[in-house]
Chain A
Amino acid sequence: MCNFEPKLIALIDDELSVEEAERVERHLSECNECRERLARYKDVSKGLVAYCEVVARENAPDKKQRWTVPVLSLVAAVIVVFFLAWTRSEKPIVQTPEVLTASIPAVEKNEIKPALVKPIRRRHRVATKEISRQTGNWRSTGGAVQIAIPADSMFAPGAVPQGMNFIAELRIAPDGSVEQVLLRQ
C-alpha cells in the first residue's frame, strides 16, 4: 500500500494543510495507482450525494408503524381503565387459609378470623355477563383491523381469570388515523 493512500480522501475533502496537499498532488502526478484510487473515492462520494437525494426524496413514513404505537397505547389504556372499573365493582379477593398461614407464621390455625376462610368467588361468569351487556350495542364494522390481546400479556399472572382475552377492533380512516376503537371479549 502506498504511504499516501490514507491522505487521498482528506485531499478530496480539503482537510490537508497546504504543504501536505502539495506533497500529495506531487505524488499523484507520479503514481497511477493512487490516481485510480482517488478517482474511485470521488466516484463513491458522488454516489453518496445521489443516495442521500434519493432517500430524502422517496422516504415515506411507514403508515402502519405511524399509528400502531399510539393506537396500541390507546387500547392498552382503555383496557386498564375498564379493568380498574370492573374490579372496583367487586369485593376484594380473599385468600385461602393455607396461603394466610404461610404468610403469617405467627398466627395459629385456630386463631384465623372467620372472614379469612371465605372461599374465592367465581367471578368470570359474572364478568362475562357484564362485558356482554356493555358491548351488546357495539357493531362489528367491515374493513376494521382486529387486534387480539391476551389478557395475560397485559396483567400480572392471576390478576384476571384464566383464558380471558380481549379483541380490539380499530376502524382506520383513509388517511391512516383511527376513527373508532371497539373493545370486546
Chain B
Amino acid sequence: MGDDSIPLSLPLARFAADSTEVTALFREQSKSLLRYVVCLGLSKDEAQDIVQDVFVSLQHHLARGGSQENIRGWLFRVAHNQARNRQKSYERRFAEPLAADMDFLSVDATPEKRVLEQEKFRRLAVAVRLLNDIERECLLLRREGLRYREIGEVLGIATSTVGDTVERAIKKLAEKCNV
C-alpha cells in the first residue's frame, strides 16, 4: 500500500551508527512517518517535531548498539508513542479535509463522476473519524506499507488481531461509503 518502503530487515553492516545512514533513512521514511502522525490528528508542526525526535532517538539507539531488526517498525513505534503522548496533553482538533481538493481523480473524469467521487470521499472521511483508535491506527499504518506483524509491534497487539481489526475496519468503511 505504501510507496516509501524499505526492506524489512537490513544487513547489519549497513548501520554503522553514524549520521550518514540515519540521514539516508530519514530521506526514505520521514515523509511516511510525517503523514502517519498528521493523520493521527497532530498538526504539521508537531508532526515535524516528532519525526525529528524519532530520528535523533534512532541515532542514540544505534550508537548504544540497539537492535537493528525491523528499523522501520521501530521508527513507527516510537513515532506512534510520541504522538499519543502529545495527544494526551490536550485535545487535538484539525480541520475537515477539503473534499474540493480531488486532484487524485483522473483528469478526464466527467463532472458527474467528480460529484459522485467527492461525495464518496466525504463519506469516507466521516467514516474514518467514526472508527475507534485501534482500527484507525491499523489502517493508517497499513496505508504506510507496514505488514500486519509490524503493525502489531507498533501498537502492541497480536498479528492475528491486526488482521481481524483491519478486516473489520475496511468492512465498516465500505458499508458507510456504500461502496
**Which residues of A are at the interface with B, using a C-beta cutoff of 8 A?**
6, 9-10, 13, 15, 40-41, 43-45, 47-62, 65-66, 69
Contact = CB atoms under 8 A, between A and B. Distances in A.
A60 B121 contact: no
Interface residues of B, number: 37
B1 A13 contact: yes
A59 B167 contact: no
B97 interface: yes
Contacts of A48: 124, 128, 139, 143, 173
Interface in B135-161: 139-140, 142-143, 147-148
Interface SS of chain A: helix, strand, loop or mixed? helix
Interface in B80-96: 90, 93-95
A47 B120 contact: yes
A51 B1 contact: no
Nearest to B159: A15
Top 10 nearest A-B pairs (CB, nearest first) are A61-B43, A54-B97, A56-B35, A50-B104, A40-B179, A47-B124, A56-B38, A9-B167, A44-B173, A44-B174
Contacts of B142: 13
A62 B44 CA distance: 10
Contact of A62 (B94, B120, B140): B94
A55 B38 contact: yes
A54 B116 CA distance: 17
Nearest to B162: A15
A41 B142 CA distance: 14
Contacts of B94: 55, 59-60, 62
Nearest to A61: B43
A43 B179 CA distance: 8
Contact of A53 (B104, B124, B166, B171): B104
